[in-house]
Amino acid sequence: MFYIELHIEPLAQKIKHTDKIMLMGSCFAENISAKLAEHKFDICTNPHGILFNPLSVADSINSYIEQKQYTEDDLFYLNELWNSWEHHSRFSHIDKDAALSQINQSQEQAHRFISSADYLIISLGTAYQYYRKDSGMPVSNNHKAPSQEFEKVLLPIEEITNSLSDTIEALENTNPNLQILFTVSPVRHIRDGVVENNRSKARLLEAVHDICGRYEQVHYFPAYELLIDVLRDYRFYDTDLVHPNKQAVSYIWERFMNSCMEDTTLTYIKEIAELNSAYQHRPRFEQTEGHQQFLAVYAKKLRVLREKYPHINWSEEEQYFSL
C-alpha cells in the first residue's frame, strides 16, 4: 500500500443527470462546474463570480433568495472601471449601466435557479475576510484597490457557522427539497502565508462539519483531503504549486462521481464522454470518405442519445454530425 485509503460516505440522495445544480465559491467550484457542463448537466455557477470566504458566499445566496436588485449606489469607480465590492471583476465594466445590467441579470437568473435547484455545491477557499476601513463594509473582491484601505480578519469558527446556518435556514424556507454539499477547496492561499493558510483551512473544516451535524440536508465531500492526504505530492499541482493540476482535478472528479452520483447517471456520463470526444475531433480533410463515415456513425449515436435524454440541448452536436 503506497497511499492512504479515504472512504467517502455515499450520499443518501444521489445526484441524477436531470438535477439542477448550483455551484458557488472558490475557483475549485469552477473546476467541478466545468466537468458538469462538459457532461451537459443543468448548472448555474457563481452568479457573483468567484468567491473565497464564507461570509461572501452566505451574503450572495441571501441576495438571490431576497431577489436583491443592485443600484448605482452599489457601484464604485476605480482603475477606469465601474465595480462592485460584492462581485468578481468579471462584472466590472467601463460603462456603469452595462455593469449594473449584467449584475442584475445574473441576480434574476440566480433567484429563479436556486428556487428550484436540487443541489447547491459550495466550495469554501479561505476563512479570511476583508473589510473596508472607511465604512467597515465586508468585501468579496478588492479590485486591486490599495491594500491599506482594507482590514484583514481571520473569521472565528462561530461566526462562520452562524452565518452559513442562517443562510441554510433561509434556503429551507425558499426551497425545502434543496440538498447542500460543502467542500473545502484544496487550493492553497499561500499569499496569506503557509501557517496562516493552514489555520484558515482548519476553521473552514471545523465550521462545515459543525453545520453538517446540524442539518440532515447538508453534506460534506472531502475534496481537500483527497488532494492533501491521498494524492499528497507536488506532481499533482500546477506550476504555481498551489492549484491542483488537470490530473488532480480529474481524480477528484472521479471520486465525486462514484460517491455522489446514481449508477444511471454514471452510465449517462460515459455515453456523453464518448460523444464529446467525437465532437471535439477536427479532421484535416473533411471531405474524405473516412470522415464522412465517422460523422454517419456518430449521427446515429446522437439520435439514440437524443431519444434517451430529451431534456438535453443537442443542437451544436447535431449541426456538427449532420451529413
pLDDT of residue 318: 87
Q: Is pLDDT of 311 > 90?
A: no
DSSP string covering 106-170, please?
HHHHHHHHHHH-SEEEEEE--SEEEEETTT--EES--TT--GGGEEEEE--HHHHHHHHHHHHHH
Interacting residues of 92 by C-beta distance below 8 A, sequence separation 6+: 81, 82, 83, 84, 99, 143
Average pLDDT over residues 34-62: 96
Quick one: pLDDT band at residue 4, thresholds 50, 70, 90?
confident
DSSP 244: B
Listed in order, strand segments (DSSP E) in the chain are 20-25, 42-45, 75-78, 81-84, 119-124, 128-132, 138-139, 150-154, 179-184, 218-220
More confident: 176 or 301: 176
Q: Is pLDDT of 319 > 90?
A: no
For the stretch 120-149, pLDDT in tens is 999 999 999 999 999 999 999 999 999 999
Mean pLDDT of the chain: 94
More confident: 120 or 287: 120
The DSSP bridge partners found for residue 120 are 22, 180
The whole-model pTM stands at 0.93
DSSP 47: T
Q: Residue length, the chain?
A: 323
